[in-house]
Amino acid sequence: MLMPFDFYFQQFCQNSFFHVKMLNFARGRSQQRSTRSMPFAGVEHHDPKRKGSFVGKILMVATLAALCIIMLKQSPTFRTPSQFSKHEEGVTHVLVTGGAGYIGSHAALRLLRESYRVTIVDNLSRGNMGAVKVLRDLFPEPGRLQFIYADLGDAKVVNEIFSENAFDAVMHFAAVAYVGESTMDPLKYYHNITSNTLVVLEAMAAHGVKTLIYSSTCATYGEPEKMPITEETPQVPINPYGKAKKMAEDIILDFSKNSDMAVMILRYFNVIGSDPEGRLGEAPRPELREHGRISGACFDAARGIIPGLKVKGTDYNTHDGTCIRDYIDVTDLVDAHVKALQKAKPRKVGIYNVGTGRGRSVKEFVEACKKATGVEIKVDYLPRRPGDYAEVFSNPTKIYRELNWTAQHTDLEESLKTAWRWQKAHRDGYGAS
Ligand SMILES: NC(=O)c1ccc[n+]([C@@H]2O[C@H](COP(=O)([O-])OP(=O)(O)OC[C@H]3O[C@@H](n4cnc5c(N)ncnc54)[C@H](O)[C@@H]3O)[C@@H](O)[C@H]2O)c1
């Protein structure tokens, strides 16, 4: 549950105490037995050598205990119970699931900057410990940031985390999140997205955590006939990723009908960009490259890691035949989360599209990418990819009206430039940073 180092070290300490206790217990009984079997009843047999070894053992136990306590306290993620396990007036403690990932780490940074207390839970299946280290170095003070290595599929562990921590709100980012992969391995998606959201929700209900900000996606809408997409557009997802997210939304909405939970569901469009100050970036697992998002592929091509870009589908019913998407900068996206958190109200559900309201074609994206990186990227045009849809862009009116949120970073080239700076400085992702 804790970081591996802490976990093993705590186990060592616990085992040492246990072991020592067992030894003493055994000795205690044998001493009693030998006292009882003394041939001269009523006469105290005093053995000075035994007394000396007993005192020695007491001293050894005390030294070991002191050593364990000192080392545990020095360990980087040692959790002082008073800070993470107790509610504190004026401090909002947010559980950020998937906080080692791309969007989750940016959200954690913003929350920490705004004085929230943050606990990240991540199984590092797709995230990066390097991102957590960046956050920890920026906010080393006790009680600010805690990292818990755990899998949200393990309900028992999740329950333990909720009983040991006093969360005020949950931002549930953790998920597998590739449309292409979801068509090849749908069960993984239903398990990781739908089933794990149920686990998180059950833990929240059981432990009285009353605010949920849920990461959903425009993929829940499928391929609507009418653009732009509003929150009332019927949700007819056409791939397992979108379906799994829609199911998770349904579970949350059904639960919220008879609960006083404050729920905000944010349906993101396509997320790009990175921290303008260059502290965090997007570093997906290399093995996910083939499913990867267009920005990752664009940077990989610019760096020569892949020979060029593969644009899948040129015969869509759009102005240049390539797919149209609404690209939202991650800085804007986390801003929407903070606003959602601040405006969340008990017994209220808010569902919001988070996009710019402007669609850009893949061809336009590639041109912006070439300009941002300064590299003449080679482009191959291929047949369509299963599960993709022609045109998707948002109507962000509702989120502007109700949360006073609007995208500030709507310049595709600028967002890509920022992300490219991080990519250039981190050629091996977080590995070399
Ligand atoms: N990136 C986008 O364009 C986009 C668009 C719409 C919605 N979203 C949603 O935003 C959220 C974050 O996406 P991202 O792009 O940051 O992805 P990411 O892969 O970078 O981050 C996801 C994080 O969740 C963690 N995780 C996955 N399964 C876990 C589990 N069972 N237990 C614990 N941790 C687990 C991963 O290790 C990773 O750190 C997801 O819910 C995704 O569906 C993303």
* Ligand 1 neighbourhood includes 122 CB (under 6 angstroms): yes
Cα–Cα distances in Å, from 166 out to 87, 160, 330, 394, 403?
6, 12, 28, 36, 27
Question: Measured between alpha carbons, how far apart are the two ends of the chain, in Å?
Answer: 25
Q: In which residue are the tokens 């045109």 written?
A: 391
Question: Residues 220-232: what's their mean pLDDT?
Answer: 94
Quote the pLDDT of residue 7: 34
Quote the pLDDT of residue 203: 98
Quote the pLDDT of residue 29: 33
* Ligand 1 neighbourhood includes 292 CB (under 6 angstroms): no
Pick the atom of ligand 1 nearest to 192's CA: 31
Quote the pLDDT of residue 389: 78
Fold of 85-425: Rossmann fold (3.40.50)
Q: How far apart are CA 266 and CA 333, in angstroms?
A: 9
Identify the band that residue 127 occupies on the pLDDT scale cut at 50, 70 and 90: very high
Residue nearest to atom 8 of ligand 1 (CA): 217
Query: Are residues 412 and 368 in contact, defined by beta-carbon separation less than 8 angstroms?
Result: yes
Tens-digit pLDDT profile for residues 326-378: 999 999 999 999 999 999 999 999 999 999 999 999 999 999 999 999 999 99
Q: In which residue are the tokens 């941002």 written?
A: 372
Residues with a known catalytic role: 241
* Ligand 1 neighbourhood includes 102 CB (under 6 angstroms): yes
Pick the atom of ligand 1 nearest to 245's CA: 43
Quote the pLDDT of residue 132: 98
Query: Are residues 76 and 136 in contact, defined by beta-carbon separation less than 8 angstroms?
Result: yes
Question: How many whole angstroms from 174 Cα to the centroid of ligand 1?
Answer: 4
Question: How many whole angstroms from 228 Cα to the centroid of ligand 1?
Answer: 25
Q: How far apart are CA 390 and CA 317, in angstroms?
A: 7
Question: Residues 54-72: what's their mean pLDDT?
Answer: 68
* Ligand 1 neighbourhood includes 124 CB (under 6 angstroms): yes
Pick the atom of ligand 1 nearest to 125's CA: 37
pTM: 0.84
- What's 196-249 look like in SS3? HHHHHHHHHHHCCCCEEEEEEEHHHHECCCCCCECCCCCCECCCHHHHHHHHHH
Taking 70 as the threshold, does the pLDDT of residue 11 lie above it? Answer: no
Q: How far apart are CA 296 and CA 302, in angstroms?
A: 10
* Ligand 1 neighbourhood includes 107 CB (under 6 angstroms): no
Q: In which residue are the tokens 């009908």 written?
A: 257
Q: How far apart are CA 122 and CA 16, in angstroms?
A: 29
Taking 90 as the threshold, does the pLDDT of residue 54 lie above it? Answer: no
Taking 60 as the threshold, does the pLDDT of residue 23 lie above it? Answer: no
Dihedral pair phi/psi, residue 264, rounded to 5°: -125, 120
